[in-house]
Amino acid sequence: MTFPPDATLADAGEFGLISELVGLFPQGEHVLVGPGDDAAVLRVRTGHVVVSTDLMVQGRHFRRDWASAEDVGHRAAAQNLSDINAMGGRAHSLTVGIAAPPDLPAQWALEFAAGFAAECGLVGASVVGGDVTRADEVVIAVTVIGACLQAPVVRSGAEAGDLLAITGRQGWAAGGLAVLGRGFRSPRVLVEAYRRPEPPYDAGAIAAAAGATSMIDVSDGLLADAGHLADDSGVAIDVRRDAFEVPEPLVAVGAATGADPLSFILGGGDDHALLATFPDAASVPEGWHVIGDVLEGDAGVTVDGGAYDGPTGWTHF
C-alpha cells in the first residue's frame, strides 16, 4: 500500500498505517516473532537483560516546526538507546507507540519511522512491535531492551577518591535549543545537534570494561545528572570549570544571547553524552575527559568548590 502525498492518518487507517510502518523496520536474527503478533519473542543468549522506557510529547519535548519527522524519529530512538548505553550495555530491541491526531499527515508518521529505524540501525537494534492510537497531540512512547555482558554499571557505585569523566558532545543541543527559541536557525551546527543527537554508543561498554564505578547519560543536564550520581552514591561531586573547552559555536551563541556559554555545557541536556566515575586516572578510557572529583561529604554537586547559581538542567514538573 502506498498513501497519496496528502493522506492523513484518518485516511490511512490504523491497520493501513501499521502495515506501512512494519515494512520500515528490519528484524535481527535474535527476533523469533516480530511485529504483528500479540507480543514479540526474542532470543536472549547471555548476559543481563536491561530495559528502559521514555516518552516524548509534542510541544514539550519537540516541536514539529523546529524538527522534521525524521529528526524526531532519530531523537526518540537515541534517547532510549542511550539509556542502555549508560548501563554499559547494548540495545537490541525496541517497541514504539505513537498517539496522534487523525489529521496528522500519514507521511509524517512514515518519515518518523524512517528516522527511528535509521538510528536503531546504528547499534544493530530491531523495532519488534508497537501500537498506534488517537490523541490530541503527538505522543511517542518507546521501550528499549538490551543486554550487558558484564555487570551493569549503576548510578550508586561512586566512591570518594574517584574521578568524574565525560565522553561525547555536550552543550551543543542546549545551544541549538537557545537559538531555535529565539527564532533563528544558526549556528546551524548547533541546531542540527539539537535535532539529531550523536550519542557515543560504543562508550558505555568500554567504560564498564574499564571499571567505571557509576554511570549516567546526560539527558537532563550535566550538573543535574551528576547530582543523580552523587545522591544515589551518597557522595559529593565537584566539577571544575577549567576542565572544559567551550567550542566556538557556543561562544557565539553566548555572545548573541548574553548567556555564559559554559552554562550550555553545565546545564544542557539532550546530547546524551555519558558521565561516569572511575577509580583513578589509569582506568579512564581513551576518549573520556576528566572534569571533576568525587569527594566525601554531603551528597550534592558543586562547581569549583562552591554552589552554582546557573541552570543545572531540565525538570519535567
User: What phi, psi does 202 have (nearest 5°)?
Assistant: -90, -10
H helices then E strands: how many in the chain? 10, 12
Identify the CATH number of the domain defined by range 9-148. Answer: 3.30.1330.10
Four-CA torsion 156, 165, 75, 252, nearest 10 degrees: 140
DSSP string, 52-112: EEEEEEBTTTB-TTTS-HHHHHHHHHHHHHHHHHTTT-EEEEEEEEEEE-TTSBHHHHHHH
* pLDDT tens, residue by residue, 228-254: 999 999 999 999 999 999 999 999 999
Same fold, 9-148 and 163-303: no
230 class by beta-carbon count within 10 Å (0-12 exposed, 13-18 middle, 19+ buried): buried
Cβ pair 128, 246 in contact under 8 A = no
What does the pLDDT read at residue 6?
79
pLDDT-derived band at 317 (thresholds 50, 70, 90) equals low
Considering the domain 163-303, what is its CATH architecture?
A: Alpha-Beta Complex (3.90)
| pLDDT mean across residues, the chain | 93
b/e 237-259 (16+ beta carbons within 10 angstroms → b): bbbeeeebeebebbebbbeebeb
User: 32-82: per-residue pLDDT in tens?
Assistant: 887 866 677 878 877 789 999 999 999 999 999 999 999 999 999 999 999
Q: Per-residue confidence at 23, pLDDT binned at 50, 70, 90?
A: confident
Name beta bridge partners: 303.
239, 306
In tens, the pLDDT along 256-280 reads 999 999 999 999 999 999 999 999 9
Task: Give the pLDDT band (50/70/90) at residue 161.
Answer: very high
Residue 14 has pLDDT above 80, yes or no: no
At residue 266, the pLDDT reads: 97
Residue 164 CB burial class (10 angstroms; 0-12, 13-18, ≥19): buried
Q: What is the domain partition of the chain in residue ranges?
A: 9-148, 163-303
